[in-house]
Each structure stands twice: as C-alpha cells, then as structure tokens.
Amino acid sequence: MTDTTVPTFDLTELRDGHRRDEFRECLREKGLFYLTNSGLTEQDHEAAREIAVDFFEHGPEEQKQAATHPVQTIRRGFTRLESESTARITNTGKYTDYSMSYSMGVDENLFPTPEFEAVWQRYFDSLNVAAKDVARQVLAAVDARPAGGVEELLDCDPVLRLRYFPEVPEDRIAEKQPLRMAPHYDLSIVTLIHQTPCRNGFVSLQGEVGGRYVDLPATPDAVLVFCGAVATLVSDGAVKAPLHHVAAPGEDKRVGSGRTSSVFFLRPSLDFEFSVARAKELGFNVDLPVETATFNDWIGGNYINIRKTADAR
C-alpha cells in the first residue's frame, strides 16, 4: 500500500543530521513535509496576517489602487479577488483563483502604510532566513551540487504572498467548480506555507502524494514545505516538486470556509540557468525555443496569463 502520510521534521534535528535517510526518502517520493522549529512563532505569522486582512477588508479604495502594480505580471502589492487564474497559467481551465493577495519581494515594493511596511519587512526577513536554512538541508540531504555552489543559488529573489480566501459564493461551491485554485507545482527552490484553518473544519489545501491528492491541514507551530521545480532541477531529479491545489468546499461546507495562506517562495535569481530539455525530461512544462533558459525566461512564459484581462471577466 502506498504511504500517503505527510511527515513532520524538526529543523534543529535536520541541521544536526538526524533522520537523514527518512528525510531523503521523503524528498524523493513526496517532496512535501511539515516543519517545526522554523524560527518563526505563531505571533510572527499573526501580526503580518492581521494587518494584511485588515487592509483587504477595510483599506480605502485609493490606497488599494496605489498598492496595485501597473505591470500585471510582477508580483508586488495588492491583487484583487479573482483577478488571477492559475488554471490559465497551467492550461487546465479558465476559472479564476478565488482569492485576493498582497505580495512583496526584496525591492520595488508597494506598501499601503509605513506600519504595514514595518510589520511585513520583519516577517519577510524572518521567512527568508528560515527558507534558506530549509533549502540548505534539502540540497545537502540529496547531495545536490548546483553550478556555483549552494550559497550562490541562495543569493536569490524570494517572493512573499499572503493569500486571503473568502467564503466562496454559490457559483464556486465544489458541486459547480471543484477548485479554488488549479493544480500546479511551484517555481521555487522551496516554498514555506503557514495557513489558518477554515472555521468549519474544511481542509482546502491538498497535495499529490502517492498518486492521489491528500488533505494538508493547518498544523499549530509548524509550516508546510513544498519543494519546488528548481530543487528538482539542481538535484537532477532527486527531489520531487509535488502538484498541489486548493479545493472548493461543497454546499454543506460553504459557510465558514474562509482561510488565509502565507506563502514564501524561495526563488532563484532571475539569471539562474537550466537545460530546457532536462526540465522537460523531469516533467516540467517549459515551452521555450532554446537549449538553455534562465529563470526569468521561465517565469515570463508562465506568468504571462496570470491576470484575467478585462474582456475575459
């Protein structure tokens, strides 16, 4: 019988080399796990979440306009409800992501207020430290040797997004549209996720483990880690980048199905290079007419349709 459990690892133990064989097996077969002792507390997550949700729900319209980036494919600032479509990116449908978000990176950010900036900068910096530490453990476990070395790879271009998934309306319940967000793998080295549970107990985030999608509930004092496509590339397939999606609740679970998800993508620098042919062999959808591509080439092709156009609404 296929093992579909999602294990939990302690970052301190991983640093000390404990459970290394089990960790390596998890990376190869599943590519996702829960992580404790990441260095962030529940209060760290709560502070960033609360100021963002307050902005989503109560921020003045002119403030939201000012925090919306004019270039649609750049992940910075405020993104309105249903204005993105992962299904379009992955060519699996035309439905929208039923969420809104706020995003920031290393630079060129659009903060609504100085208070927001202070809270989110602290949160971003803490997540960046934790994600790089996790990435070091992942790459060391499979003896990955990226060109230029691990530390050069980790001199990178991370992105933090806080996604807010409100309760779905009647036309987005599972009986009519099964997913809030389409299946996808992450274009990252690793991705750290801290989520809040749905008030009614529904588990919305699901990941592919052992050939089927399993629930990935919010777990107190832990973050969820997804290994991304870049980890697969630099490990030459020794690390899996799992598919995951966000499921819609059925009619019986519609009320109380709101949740948030804080997602930190540890992305490589834009000039990170990889073999297009090898990426395709490893199962990634890279439609680029070159032998060697950069990460910038890749995300440009993937994010080109991330925003719905006005005539598609």
Catalytic positions, written as ranges: 75
Strands in the chain per DSSP E? 8-10, 32-36, 77-79, 100-104, 159-165, 179-184, 190-195, 205-209, 212-215, 222-227, 244-247, 259-266, 273-275, 292-294
Contact 126, 18 (CB under 8 A): no
Q: How far is CA 36 from CA 104, 126, 194, in A?
A: 24, 15, 11
Tokens of residue 90, six digits: 């992955």
Question: How far apart are the C-alpha atoms of 11 and 36, rounded to whole Å?
Answer: 6
Contact 40, 47 (CB under 8 A): no
Bridge-based pairing state of the strands 100-104 and 159-165: antiparallel
